[in-house]
Every structure is written in structure tokens, then in C-alpha cells.
Amino acid sequence: MNIGFIGLGAMGRAMAHNLVAAGFDVTVWNRSADKCQPLVDAGATQADTPADCARADVLITMLADDDALAAVIDEHDLITALGDNTVHVNMATVAVETGRTMAARHAEAGKAYVAAPVLGRPDLAAAAKLNIVAAGPAAAIETARPALETMGAKLWPAGDDAFRANVIKLATNTMLVSAVETMAEATSMSAAYGIEPGDFLEIITHSVFGSPAYLGYAPAMEKRDYDNPEGFKLKLGAKDIDLALRASRAQNVPMPMGAAARERLAEAMAAGDGELDLSALGEAARRSAHLDD
């Protein structure tokens, strides 16, 4: 099977490596072209333009956000460039409206579109242990299944309408960001009473909160070391909460916890922490409690 892969950020490069290692014929493109070299060294082909990836059996896009997707799709006329039987699988976390409009634009052009956002950080992507939520035409998901199952531990079908997978991903990330925020607050509260962050985090992650949502972010919070190119950028977490709040408001669904987490993310980004890992919410909580004054 031929696979085109666009977007070799923290997630995309790990996922593309697994496809190459599994023996798929992979063609890669990334805006910053230098990021293609490790994939080429592993056996992939480097494309000159995104359109050169679009004639594969499956085109995977793993770009930062809606703007990045729009830039690649529209500036390079990517939908037109897709082969007649190519399935476009968008694995990034994007807006619910994007799920709807992308599905409609592809359908109008007679092309297949699947939304398949992922649950899991880059280390899980590297270990091929992602949970992948896929929605779109059943036949298109079946075409993409071998690639998706290579990158993930489990494929969760979410129906025929692509936007449904985007809803599930955004709802999940509202919980994730809120979880990291409450862990940061509780760690600061304990620290104010002289309890070492590492001691507190060890207890909670080995008892009532022993889930990946907490385990993935506790070590960086303990070490206060948030500069991780293989992490989940705090500004991408803010993007996800914005998209979730927009989607919830469109249906008059109150999400007060998500809105509160978004305020803390704003504070962290104003302090210059947007490029750091989401666990840097730990620092925002410390600052607001004046723990280091």
C-alpha cells in the first residue's frame, strides 16, 4: 500500500516512522523540509510538494490546526490532486465544522475523507499505542484500516459522519486539559504546606488517578522541566479548548470547567509558556500561588 504523509511534527514523525518500519511505501512532505530527512533515512520518499503525496492509496495529514490544514489544502489545491481512489485521513485535532466542511468538499469532488484524530502523546505514537477514533464512509475507513492499525493500539469507529470523531476528540481533550490543570492546582496546594510535589504526584498517580491523562504529565510537573519537543504544546491544548467551547456553545452546552481551564492556559501563554509542554500548567499554578516569591 502507498501512503502519503503530510506533517512531521512531534506526532506525525513518530507515526510516519511506524508506517515505514511496517513496510508501507511512504512519501512524506513537511513545511520545514529538513524534518523529512530522518524519514528518508528510514526508507521513505521525500515529496517536493504536498500534491506529490496525494496520489497514494491513503493520504494522511497530521498538521497543527485548522489554519495549517487550510494552508496546505487550499494553497496546494490538494483535494483536486487526490487520486480518484485515494482516501484522505485527517488525524489532526481540528474543529467540528472542519469535519463537516472537509467531508462536504471531498464528497463534492468525488473523493473520500475520514477524520481520525488520535488519543495519546508522542511517546505513545512512537510505540504505536495510539487510540484512533475514526469517522467517515465505512469503505474508506476499511481502506485506511491497515495503516491506522499499524499506528495505533485500537481503532474506535465513530460512524459515517466525519465530524463525529472531531466531537469525541475535542470532548476528550477538554477532560485532559482540565485534568492537568486540577493536578497542577492540587500539587501547588500541597507544596504550600511543604509537601514535595514528587511525593504528592507519586501518591495520586499510583492510586485514584493512575490513568495516562495524569501519568503522562506528572513527571514533567515534578521536575518542573517543560521544554519537551516530544510533548503536547500548551498552545495546542488552548486551541483544543477553544474548539471545544465553540462546539459546546453552538449547542448551548455549558462547560464551566473547560472555560476555567482556558483562562489558566491564557495566563500561561501570556507568560510565554505556549511552546512548552501542557504540564507547564504546573508553573502557572505555582505563579498564581506565589510559591516561589
Q: Which residues are catalytic?
A: 169
Q: How far is the CB of 8 from ligand NAP (least distance, A)?
A: 5
List C-alpha distances in Å: 206 to 196, 199, 201, 220, 228. 16, 11, 8, 16, 24
Q: How far is the CB of 235 from ligand NAP (least distance, A)?
A: 9
Kindly give the pairing relationship between strand 25-29 and strand 45-46.
parallel
Q: Does 129 bind ligand NAP (CB under 6 A)?
A: no
- Of 28-36, 81-89, 198-206, 245-253, the segment contacting ligand NAP by CB under 6 A is 28-36
Query: Is the CB of residue 191 less than 8 Å from the CB of residue 291?
Result: yes
Q: Does 76 bind ligand NAP (CB under 6 A)?
A: no
CB-nearer residue toward ligand NAP: 43 or 212: 212
CB-nearer residue toward ligand NAP: 24 or 217: 217
CB-nearer residue toward ligand NAP: 93 or 248: 93
Q: Which long-range contacts (CB under 8 A, 24 or more apart) does 39-48 make?
A: 39/5, 39/8, 39/13, 42/17, 44/5, 44/16, 44/20, 47/4
CB-based closest residue to ligand NAP: 9
- Of 25-33, 40-48, 135-143, 198-206, the segment contacting ligand NAP by CB under 6 A is 25-33
CB-nearer residue toward ligand NAP: 39 or 118: 118
Q: How far is the CB of 279 from ligand NAP (least distance, A)?
A: 11
Q: How far is the CB of 111 from ligand NAP (least distance, A)?
A: 20
Q: How far is the CB of 193 from ligand NAP (least distance, A)?
A: 32
List C-alpha distances in Å: 248 to 92, 100, 164, 252, 289. 19, 16, 13, 6, 31
Q: Does 62 bind ligand NAP (CB under 6 A)?
A: yes
> How many chain residues are in contact with ligand NAP, going by CB under 6 A?
26
- Of 7-15, 142-150, 155-163, 256-264, the segment contacting ligand NAP by CB under 6 A is 7-15
- Of 59-67, 148-156, 198-206, 243-251, the segment contacting ligand NAP by CB under 6 A is 59-67
Binding mask 232-251 for ligand NAP (x = CB under 6 A): xx--x---------------
- Of 58-66, 135-143, 197-205, 246-254, the segment contacting ligand NAP by CB under 6 A is 58-66
Which residue of 3, 4, 11, 57 would you call a contact of ligand NAP, by CB under 6 A? 11
Q: Point out which residues bind ligand NAP (CB under 6 A).
A: 7-12, 30-32, 35, 62-65, 67-68, 71-72, 92-93, 118, 121-122, 232-233, 236
